[in-house]
Amino acid sequence: MSDTSVIYVLNGPNLNLLGAREPEIYGRDTLADIEQRCLTAAGDARIVFRQTNHEGVLVDWIQEAREKAQALIINPAAYGHTSVALHDALKTLTIPVIELHLSNPAAREAFRHHSYVSSAATGVIAGFGAAGYELAVQAALTKVRERA
């Protein structure tokens, strides 16, 4: 993989509390631990790893990725179930988009069963905890290679 490949990894609300928030659901890894896993999995590719609790900031970063990234991984957290704005922003991308969830939303409360992000994503990885981020980076790299 060329060192010019850039993968954005965007994280939504409350993910800054990983490791402390409901570890029985989300695990004990912190977001900093997960970032390190992504950096390791990326090899020569560059990871831009960000987290925000604000929907509009996620939209801004998605729009930025249109010009600066070869792939985007997004853990939209609760915004996946509520945000048409994220859906619309993701639909503007021509790069691969991987939706990611630490838990399996389909196995949780009914309101988590629908995702506005899924219909705009190339693929979805859910239920593998922090290891899902590594899987997502691998999937993104595969898609970037396929497009090259």
Q: How many CA atoms lie within 13 A of 105 on its CB side?
A: 22
C-alpha separations of 114 from 15, 103, 132 in Å = 19, 14, 19
List the one residue out of 35, 23, 46, 31 whose CA is nearest residue 103: 23
- Find out whether 88 is annotated in a ligand binding site: yes
- Find out whether 29 is annotated in a ligand binding site: no
pLDDT for 100 equals 96
CATH code of domain 6-97+120-147 = 3.40.50.9100
Instruction: Exactly one of 8, 101, 116, 133 is catalytic; name it.
Output: 101
- Higher-confidence residue of 84 and 116: namely 84
26 as an active site residue: the answer is yes
Instruction: Exactly one of 8, 26, 116, 133 is catalytic; name it.
Output: 26
- Find out whether 115 is annotated in a ligand binding site: no
133 as an active site residue: the answer is no
- Higher-confidence residue of 3 and 55: namely 55
Q: Locate 70 and state its tokens.
A: 């070869």
| Tens digit of each residue's pLDDT (9 = 90 or more) over 26-60 | 768 999 999 999 999 999 999 999 999 999 999 99
- Find out whether 81 is annotated in a ligand binding site: yes
Task: Write down how long the chain is.
Answer: 148
Q: Give the domain ranges of the chain.
A: 6-97+120-147
